[in-house]
Amino acid sequence: MISENLRGKRIAITGATGFVGTALVERLLFSVPECELVLLVRDGRRTPAAERVRREILKNDAFDRLRKKLGADFDASIMGRISVVAGDVSTDGLGLSPHDAQKFASCDIVIHSAASVSFDSPLDSAVEVNLLGPMRIAELLNAIGPKADGTMPHLVAVSTCYVAGNRRGTAPEELVSAGPFDIGLNWKTEVTAARRLRGDAEAASRAPAQLANFRSQARSELGAAGAPALAAKTEQNRQRWVKDQLVEAGRTRAASVGWPDAYAFTKALGEQALHETKGNVPVSIVRPSIIESALSEPSPGWIRGFRMAEPVIISYARGLLDQFPGVPEGTVDVIPVDLVVAAIVAVAALGPDEAPHITQVASGSTNPLKYRTLVDNVRDWFTQHPIYDAEGQPIVVPDWKFPGRGKVEKQLTRAKTVIAQSEKLLGALPLRGTQAAWSTKLEDRRGDIERALEYVELYGLYTECEAIYSVNNLLAINERMSEADRKTFCLDPRVVHWPTYISTIHLPSIVLHSRVKTTPGKSTLDRSDRLRKQVLDPSRHVAAFDLENTLISSNVVESFSWLATRRLNSPERVRYVLRTLREAPNLLSMDRKDRSDFLRYFYRRYEDAPVQQIEEDSQELLAQLIMTKSFPAGLRRVREHRALGHRTILITGAMSFAVEGLRPLFDEIVAAEMTVRPDGTYSGELAQVPPTGETRAQVLADYCAREGLRLEESIAYADSSSDLPMLEAVGFPVAVNPETRLATIARKRGWLVENWEKASGGPRPRLPLGPMMSEREQKRFSERNKRSSYRSGL
Amino acid sequence: MPRPGFVLEVDKSTPPILFWRGENFSLEKLPAGRSRVIYAPEPLPAIEDVDGAIRHALLNPIEQDPLPEQLFPGMKLTIAFDDVSLPLPKMERPDIRQRVIEAVLDMAAEAGVDDVHIISALALHRRMTEEELRHCLGDRIYDAFAPRGTLYQHDAEDPDNLAYLGQTPHGEDVEINKRAAESDLLVYVNINLVAMDGGWKSTATGLSSYKSLRHHHNPETMIHSRSFMDQHRSELHKSNWRMGKVLIDSGVKVFQIETTLNTDTFPSPFGFLAKREWEWSPSDRMTYLASTKALKRTPTRLARKIFHSIEAPHQMTSVQAGDVEAVHRITTEHVYKQQLVEVKGQTDILTMGIPYISPYNVNSILNPILVMCMGLGYYFNMYKGMPLVREGGVIIMTHPTQPDFHPVHHPSYIDFFEQVLADTTDPHVMSQKWEKQYAEDEWYKHLYRTTYAYHGVHPFYMWYWGSHALQHCSRIIIVGGDPKTVRRLGFVPASTMDDALEIASDVVGRAPTITHLHSPPLMVADVS
Task: Note the pTM of the prediction, 2 decimals.
Answer: 0.77
Cα-Cα end-to-end distance for chain B: 26
> What's the pLDDT score for residue A777?
53
The C-alpha atoms of residue A617 and residue A791 are separated, in whole angstroms, by: 14
The C-alpha atoms of residue B413 and residue A760 are separated, in whole angstroms, by: 13
**Strand bridging mode B185-189 / B173-177:** unpaired
Burial level of B342, CB count in 10 A (0-12/13-18/19+)? middle
DSSP category for residue A750: T
The C-alpha atoms of residue A23 and residue B153 are separated, in whole angstroms, by: 78
Judged by CB atoms closer than 8 Å, whether chains meet at A633 and B405 is answered as no
Enumerate residues 6+ apart whose C-beta is below 8 A from A723: A225, A546, A693, A696, A716, A742
Judged by CB atoms closer than 8 Å, whether chains meet at A632 and B446 is answered as no
Q: Which residues of A touch B411 (CB under 8 A)?
A: 627, 632, 635
- Is some CB atom of chain B closer than 8 A to the CB atom of A775? no
- Is some CB atom of chain B closer than 8 A to the CB atom of A774? yes
CB B90 within 8 A of CB B135: yes
The C-alpha atoms of residue B414 and residue B404 are separated, in whole angstroms, by: 9
Judged by CB atoms closer than 8 Å, whether chains meet at A632 and B414 is answered as yes
As its CATH architecture, domain B6-39+344-527 has Alpha-Beta Complex (3.90)
CB B341 within 8 A of CB B7: yes
CB B109 within 8 A of CB B67: no
The C-alpha atoms of residue B412 and residue A418 are separated, in whole angstroms, by: 47
The C-alpha atoms of residue B462 and residue B466 are separated, in whole angstroms, by: 7
The C-alpha atoms of residue B139 and residue A697 are separated, in whole angstroms, by: 52
Judged by CB atoms closer than 8 Å, whether chains meet at A761 and B367 is answered as yes
- For B50-261, which CATH superfamily applies? LarA, N-terminal domain (3.40.50.11440)
Within a domain: A556: yes
Q: Between B261 and A773, where is the model more confident?
A: B261
Q: Between B130 and A182, where is the model more confident?
A: B130
Indicate the residue of A632, A664, A774 with minimum beta-carbon distance to B407: A632
- Is some CB atom of chain B closer than 8 A to the CB atom of A759? yes
The C-alpha atoms of residue B417 and residue B367 are separated, in whole angstroms, by: 10
- Amino acid, single-letter form, for residue B145: F
In three-state secondary structure terms, B91 is: strand
The region that residue B414 occupies, defined by phi over 0 for left and psi between -120 and 50 for alpha, beta otherwise, is alpha
**Strand bridging mode B383-384 / B524-527:** parallel
The CA–CA distances, whole Å, from A180 to A172, A183, A234, B216 equal: 11, 9, 49, 101
> What's the pLDDT score for residue B477?
97
Mutate to test the interface with A, among B23, B132, B408, B419 (most CBs of A within 10 A): B408
- Is some CB atom of chain B closer than 8 A to the CB atom of A627? yes
Q: What is the CATH number of the domain that holds A631?
A: 3.40.50.1000
Within a domain: A727: yes
Note down the domain range covering A658.
532-787
State the alpha helices, DSSP H only, in B361-426.
Answer: 368-372, 411-415, 421-423
User: DSSP labels for A454-512?
Assistant: HHHHHHHHHHT--EEE--HHHHHHHHHS-HHHHHHT---GGG--HHHIIIIIIHHHHHH
How many C-beta atoms surround the C-beta of residue A328 within 10 A?
A: 14
> What's the pLDDT score for residue A510?
81
Q: B417, B403, B390: which is closest to B300 by C-alpha? A: B403
Residue of A nearest to B416 (CA): A636
Within a domain: A6: no
Q: A235 φ, ψ to 5°?
A: -65, -40
Judged by CB atoms closer than 8 Å, whether chains meet at B451 and A623 is answered as yes
Of A20-24, A744-748, B90-94, B275-279, the least confident: A744-748
Percent of chain B, pLDDT > 70? Answer: 100
User: DSSP labels for A14-41?
Assistant: E-TTSHHHHHHHHHHHHHSTT-EEEEEE
Q: What is the mean pLDDT of each run of 10 residues along chain A (794 residues)?
A: 84 89 90 87 86 85 86 83 88 86 88 80 88 89 84 89 83 81 84 92 92 89 78 92 91 86 88 88 90 87 73 75 71 88 89 86 88 84 81 75 69 74 68 65 72 69 75 88 86 89 86 73 70 92 93 83 76 77 78 78 86 85 88 94 94 90 93 90 87 87 93 93 89 90 84 90 72 53 48 42
Beta bridge partners of B248: none
How many C-beta atoms surround the C-beta of residue A591 within 10 A?
A: 19
Q: How many Cα neighbours within 13 Å face the side chain of A470?
A: 11
DSSP category for residue B192: B
State the helix-helix crossing angle for A208-222 and A740-749, rounded to 10 degrees. 90
> What's the pLDDT score for residue A365?
87
User: DSSP labels for B443-478?
Assistant: HHHHHHHHSS---TTHHHHHHHHTHHHHHH-SEEEE
In three-state secondary structure terms, A595 is: helix
Total structural domains in chain A? Answer: 1
- Amino acid, single-letter form, for residue A245: Q
The C-alpha atoms of residue B122 and residue B454 are separated, in whole angstroms, by: 10
Average pLDDT (B490-498) is 96
Complete edge-to-edge strand list for the sheet that includes strand A10-14: A82-86, A36-41, A10-14, A109-112, A154-158, A283-288, A358-361
Q: Between A279 and B74, where is the model more confident?
A: B74
Could you tell me the residue ranges of all domains in chain B? 6-39+344-527, 50-261
**Strand bridging mode A668-672 / A647-655:** parallel
In three-state secondary structure terms, A392 is: coil
- Is some CB atom of chain B closer than 8 A to the CB atom of A66? no
The mean pLDDT value of chain B amounts to 95
Within a domain: A608: yes
Residue B442 clears pLDDT 60, i.e. is over it: yes
> What's the pLDDT score for residue A788?
47
DSSP category for residue B10: P
Residue B143 clears pLDDT 90, i.e. is over it: yes
The C-alpha atoms of residue A275 and residue A157 are separated, in whole angstroms, by: 11
Mutate to test the interface with A, among B157, B300, B451 (most CBs of A within 10 A): B451
- Is some CB atom of chain B closer than 8 A to the CB atom of A536? no
The C-alpha atoms of residue B450 and residue A342 are separated, in whole angstroms, by: 78
Residue of B nearest to A664 (CA): B443
DSSP category for residue B45: P
